[in-house]
Chains A and B, each alone.
Chain A
C-alpha cells in the first residue's frame, strides 16, 4: 500500500483517476484507519488530501460560508461566526466522536464515508448546504443530500472528491438545531439523528423549513412532509405534533445492534419535535 499527499487538486484528481478505483482517500482517517486495521478495505494507494490548500480552513463571502472538506471538526467548532450563523450544523459536527476524533475528523469524511448515521449530514442537509466537487471533468456543485446513495456508496464518480462545503447565509429570523439519540452521552453512533432549520416571518409564522433525518433509512432523508408540517404555522404544539408524525412516517429503518425499527420510528418523531423547538427558540432569539 502506497501513500501520497498531493499538494494540488489536479494532482489529487490525477492520482485518483489513474488508480482506477484502487485508491482510497484519506482525510481525517477516523473511519479509514479502522477499516484498514480490520481488513475491511485494502487499497493499493492512500491519497491524503490534507495538504491541498483548497480543502483546508473556513472562509466567508457574500454567498455564505465555505468550509474546506478536510478541515477538522475541532477547527470548525472554534469558528465563532459560523457557530453563530449555523449553531445546529456546528453542534452536529461537534458530536462526531470524542475530543480526539474531533481533532482529526472532517466534514468531507463524515459525508463520504456514507454512513446513514453520520451526525453532520442531517444538519447540513437541513441547512441547505452544498458540496464543491472536484474531478476529472472539472468542478461542480452538488446539494449535500445528493452525495450519499446508500450505505458506503456515493454519487461521486471515479476521481471525484469533495473540495468544500458551502453553507448559505442564514435567512433573517432563522434557526437550526440538531439532536441525536445515543445510549450513552458520548462515543456512540447515532441511533436516530434529526436536523431542523427554519425561518420565521415578522409575525412569527414559519416561512421556510427543512427537516432531515439520519440513521432511519439507508441514506439521510430530507423530509418534505415534516417541513410542511411547520411551514405556515407558529411552530406551536399542534404543528410540532404534526411534525413528529411526519418525521416518524418518513422513517424506513432497520433493526440492528444499535436500535429497533419501532424505537427509531418513535424517537425520530420525538427528536424532530425537540430539535424544532430549539430551532424555533434560536430563530426567535434573532428577532430583536
Chain B
C-alpha cells in the first residue's frame, strides 16, 4: 500500500508528509515530523498526553489517523509560546509548580488553552471536568487546577 501524501498546517506552518493508513497523527507528529512534545502515554485516548487541537477542537492525536490531517489545521504544544514569550498558562504552570515529572504537562497545557479559548472564566469544577481526560500521576491535580484558574484570571485582566 503506497503511502498517503498529506498537506496540512501545523502551528501555522504549511507541512507536507507521507504516512501509511495505520499511522496515527501522533505517530506522524513524533516519528515523522519529530514534534515530540506530544507524548504517548496510552495510545487509546485515556491519558490525554497527546492532546492537540484539530481545527480548533481538542482531540487526542493518538485517536486521529495521520491521513485525516489533510487540509486541516493542527496546533501542538510546540506552537504555544510565541517567540520567547510563554503563553500565560505556561508561565502559570511554572509559577504554581504545577508539574513534577512533566510528561503530562504538554497535554494539560494544550487542553487548558482549549478551555480558556472557549470559557475565559471557568469554575474549579469546570476546569476539573474539562481536564478529566488528562491524567497526571505526580501532582494530585491541585496545583494544575490552581495554575489554570490563575492564568484565566490573568488573561481576563489583560
Q: Which residues of A contact B (CB under 8 A)?
A: 1-3, 5, 26, 28-30, 33-34, 36-37, 46, 48, 50, 72, 74, 97-101, 103-104, 185-187
A29 / chain B contacts, CB cutoff of 8 Å: 63-65, 68
A99 / chain B contacts, CB cutoff of 8 Å: 58, 111, 114-115, 130-133
CB distance from B7 to the nearest CB of A (A): 14
Contact of B59 among A3, A37, A104 (CB under 8 A): A104
Closest A residue, CB atoms, query B68: A48
Contact A3-B133, Cβ < 8 Å, known A98-B48, A100-B48, A187-B46: no
Other than the given A3-B65, A33-B63, 10 more pairs (CB < 8 A) read A1-B1, A1-B21, A3-B67, A28-B63, A30-B45, A33-B64, A37-B24, A98-B60, A103-B54, A104-B59
Instruction: Find residues 50-74 in chain B having any chain A CB closer than 8 Å to their own CB.
Output: 51, 54, 57-60, 62-65, 67-68, 70
Instruction: Find residues 108-143 in chain B having any chain A CB closer than 8 Å to their own CB.
Output: 111, 114-115, 129-134
B114 / chain A contacts, CB cutoff of 8 Å: 99
Q: List 25 A-B contacts (CB under 8 A).
A: A1-B1, A2-B21, A3-B4, A3-B67, A26-B65, A29-B64, A30-B45, A33-B24, A34-B44, A34-B45, A36-B22, A37-B43, A37-B44, A37-B62, A46-B21, A72-B57, A98-B133, A99-B114, A100-B133, A101-B60, A103-B57, A104-B60, A185-B132, A186-B129, A187-B46
The total of chain B residues at the interface (CB under 8 A) is 33
B65 / chain A contacts, CB cutoff of 8 Å: 3, 26, 29, 33, 46, 48
Q: List 9 tightest A-B contacts by C-beta distance, closest first.
A: A98-B133, A186-B132, A103-B57, A3-B21, A103-B59, A1-B21, A100-B60, A100-B133, A34-B44
Asked if residues B132 and A187 are in contact (CB atoms below 8 Å), the reply is yes
CB distance from B115 to the nearest CB of A (A): 8
CB distance from B52 to the nearest CB of A (A): 9
B63 / chain A contacts, CB cutoff of 8 Å: 28-30, 33-34, 100-101, 104
Q: How far is the CA of A1 from the CA of B1 in the complex (A)?
A: 7
Closest A residue, CB atoms, query B54: A103
CB distance from B63 to the nearest CB of A (A): 5
CB distance from A70 to the nearest CB of B (A): 12
CB distance from A124 to the nearest CB of B (A): 22
A48 / chain B contacts, CB cutoff of 8 Å: 65, 68
Contact of B111 among A5, A34, A100 (CB under 8 A): A100
B115 / chain A contacts, CB cutoff of 8 Å: 99
Asked if residues B45 and A100 are in contact (CB atoms below 8 Å), the reply is yes
Q: How far is the CA of A101 from the CA of B42 in the complex (A)?
A: 14
Asked if residues A100 and B59 are in contact (CB atoms below 8 Å), the reply is yes
B44 / chain A contacts, CB cutoff of 8 Å: 34, 37
A104 / chain B contacts, CB cutoff of 8 Å: 57, 59-60, 63-64
Closest B residue, CB atoms, query A48: B68
Q: How far is the CA of A100 from the CA of B1 in the complex (A)?
A: 30
CB distance from B9 to the nearest CB of A (A): 17
Q: How far is the CA of A272 from the CA of B59 in the complex (A)?
A: 32
B22 / chain A contacts, CB cutoff of 8 Å: 1, 36
Task: From A28, A50, A100, A103, name the one whose CB has the most chain B CB atoms within 10 angstroms.
Answer: A100
Interface string of B14-55 (1 = CB under 8 A from A): 000000111010000000000000000001111010010010
Q: How far is the CA of A108 from the CA of B64 in the complex (A)?
A: 17
